[in-house]
Structure 1
């Protein structure tokens, strides 16, 4: 039997599990501008690819989808090039809208996007724009602050266009740019939708592919807190080895996993990282203890802690907070201890 688990790549169709509520919000809700926030490797690209896949196979949808990957699009020119590339890559979009790459190539990105919306509407459709790696808008804002307000005007054209941005928490730093303060880019996209770890039933359905014993399924879910990347990685290796203990040890020591946690951790704000480090040192902390360590009131930390819980960094246990999953806890404790040792005088 072929290994049914896919670790490190986006999935769709039969390989996509869960996310029914957020898919319903995007496809059937009333909002025309949505921002999906998720930690790294939580499935943001898979969510967009599944949306594209479902719409392309639907006979009664009002939308035609266009997937736009912003990775590497750090200025207006590269942003325009990536949008042209998205149109070029989607034969389905070109066929439904009767548009060619030549119609777009000489246009600045804001005008290009407006043209795509007009041509989509003229063809009898609504455009569902699926924007991946939206953190690149930070680089665009640094290079040319005039670009984002122009894009924002197009994004908020109403029912003709539904825009879905996916990113980590980094994108919230756009609010710190005074150049676009008069036209806050994320206004209309907030509050965000959180891409959380998988629900228990979703994770069980995924792990059922491996025909693992119930106690192994329970252990995987407990150690990973249903983080889809970790679940897929462990399940893929366990499917080959059938040795759960060895698999867990290998993943815990894997430098690729450590690098994943390290990069992901840096997407958080300094105050968020400080809270997680304090919880890592103590194992479990009450809301009051977290507030005291942070030097802020419990009320002031409510939204911050809520975000950390939704993204899977924190979990609630008997009124206290602990780190979200066993692998992340091991990594952060190791990093925190190493930093403390390095700071000690010789």
Structure 2
């Protein structure tokens, strides 16, 4: 039997599990500007690719999808090149809208988007714009902040276009900029939708592919807290080794996993990192204790704790908080122990 698990790459169709409510909210909900926030490797690209796939397979949909990956854009020229590449890569989009790459060459990103919306509507469709790695707007804005209001106008063209941004929560920093005189960039995209770890039934359905024992399935879910990347990685290796203890030890010692956790951790704000390090050292902390540690009130900290819970960094348990999964907690303790101020408790 071929290994059915896919670790480190986006998935869709039969390889995509869960997210039913989120998919329904995006495709059937009333909002035309949506921001999906999730930690690294939690499945943001897979979500967008699944949306693209489902719309392309649906005979009743009012949408035609276009996936736009911003990673590495860097500046306004990079945005335009990336968008042009997205159109070039999607034959289904070009066919549905009767548009050619030559119709868009030389246009700035905002003008190109405007043209795409017009041609989509003229062809009898609504544009479903799927924007991945939206944190890149922060980098682009440092070079040319004026591009953000122009893009925002297109993103909010009402029923003609439904825009879905995916990113880590770093994108929230874009509204802290003081060099943009118009409405905040994320106005209309807030409140965000959170991409959480998989639900238990979703994780069980995924792991059932490996025909693992009930005990093995339970152990994987408990150690990973249903984080999709960790589920897929451990399941893939266990499928080959059939040794749960050895597999967990290997993943825990894997520098690739440590690097993924480290990069993910750096996307968080300082108070969030302080909270997580303290909880990892002490095992469990109450909301009051965490508020005291960061110099705030329980009420002011609640949105922060809510976001950390939704993205799987924290878990609520018996009136207190613990670190969301075993691998993350292990990494946090190792990092905290190596710092000069590690003795400071939260």
Contact residue 149 and residue 182 of structure 2 kept, 8 A: no
How far apart in 1 are the matches of 2:97 and 2:209?
39
**What corresponds to 1:334 in structure 2?**
334
Shift of 1:34: 0.2
Assess, with a 3 A threshold, how the Cα gap between structure 1 residues 138 and 96 changes in structure 2: closer, same or farther.
same
**What corresponds to 1:98 in structure 2?**
98
**What corresponds to 2:164 in structure 1?**
164
Cα deviation digits, residues 241-296 of structure 1 (max 9, x gap): 00000000000000000000000000001110011011011011111111121221
1:258 is the counterpart of 2:258: yes
Cα deviation digits, residues 226-249 of structure 1 (max 9, x gap): 000000000000000000000000
Contact residue 309 and residue 315 of structure 1 kept, 8 A: yes
1:47 is the counterpart of 2:47: yes
Contact residue 175 and residue 181 of structure 1 kept, 8 A: no
**What corresponds to 1:15 in structure 2?**
15
**What corresponds to 1:193 in structure 2?**
193
Cα deviation digits, residues 132-167 of structure 1 (max 9, x gap): 000000011100011010000011000010000000
How far apart in 2 are the matches of 1:196 and 1:106?
39
* TM-score between the two structures when normalised by the length of structure 1: 0.98
How far apart in 2 are the matches of 1:173 and 1:290?
23
**The residue matched to 1:66 in structure 2 has which SS?**
strand
**The residue matched to 2:315 in structure 1 has which SS?**
strand
How far apart in 2 are the matches of 1:180 and 1:31?
24
Quote the RMSD (CA, aligned, Å).
1.2
1:205 is the counterpart of 2:205: yes
* TM-score between the two structures when normalised by the length of structure 2: 0.98
**The residue matched to 1:36 in structure 2 has which SS?**
strand
Shift of 1:175: 1.2
How far apart in 1 are the matches of 2:181 and 2:331?
38
Unaligned runs of 5+ in 1: none
How far apart in 1 are the matches of 2:278 and 2:180?
35
How far apart in 1 are the matches of 2:66 and 2:342?
49
Unaligned runs of 5+ in 2: none
Cα deviation digits, residues 66-103 of structure 1 (max 9, x gap): 00000111111110000000000000000000000010
How far apart in 1 are the matches of 2:316 and 2:323?
9
Aligned length: 344
Q: Could you list the runs of 4 or more consecutive aligned residues of structure 1 that deviate by over 2 angstroms after TM superposition? A: 340-344
